[in-house]
């Protein structure tokens, strides 16, 4: 599979359009499985802190604590996290050395798309912690 930027964008967009509010529960229920992928895969290890903030954002959205975020942001984050959770994607995870390259590419694309909203969320999170 050719892992071009265009293919990555198309894959994320396709999954983002199919993302449903019920999928949020799948993400929340599988937190440990997703964390395990971040902890155990070299290409994803560098994104662990990003995962934590994205997961927190989805969780706060699901609990109704943080609703100012547009749905397309939540669906982009959710689609990316479900993509990482899935072992069968553009490059199946079981392929040695390259199995997680696409997961990292999808996550990087997502982070670039949601960067501004994540910064807003971080500010909100800090303000309620005071």
Residues above pLDDT 90, as percent of the chain: 66
Look at residue 1 in the predicted model and tell me its pLDDT.
47
Q: Output the pLDDT for position 86.
A: 84
pLDDT of residue 24: 97
Residue 18: both structure tokens together? 């199919």
Name the stretches of the chain with pLDDT < 70. 1-3, 87-100
CA distance 46 to 12: 20
């Amino acid at each position: 599979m050719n892992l071009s930027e265009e293919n990555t964008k198309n894959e994320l967009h396709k999954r983002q359009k199919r993302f449903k509010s019920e999928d949020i529960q799948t993400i929340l229920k599988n937190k440990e499985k997703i964390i395990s992928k971040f902890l155990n895969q070299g290409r994803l290890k560098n994104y662990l802190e990003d995962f934590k903030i994205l997961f927190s954002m989805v969780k706060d959205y699901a609990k109704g604590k943080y609703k100012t975020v547009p749905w397309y942001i939540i669906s982009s984050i959710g689609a990316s996290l479900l993509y990482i959770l899935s072992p069968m994607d553009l490059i199946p995870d079981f392929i040695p050395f390259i199995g997680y390259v696409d997961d990292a590419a999808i996550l990087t694309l997502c982070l670039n798309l949601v960067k501004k909203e994540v910064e807003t969320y971080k500010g909100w999170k800090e303000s309620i912690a005071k």
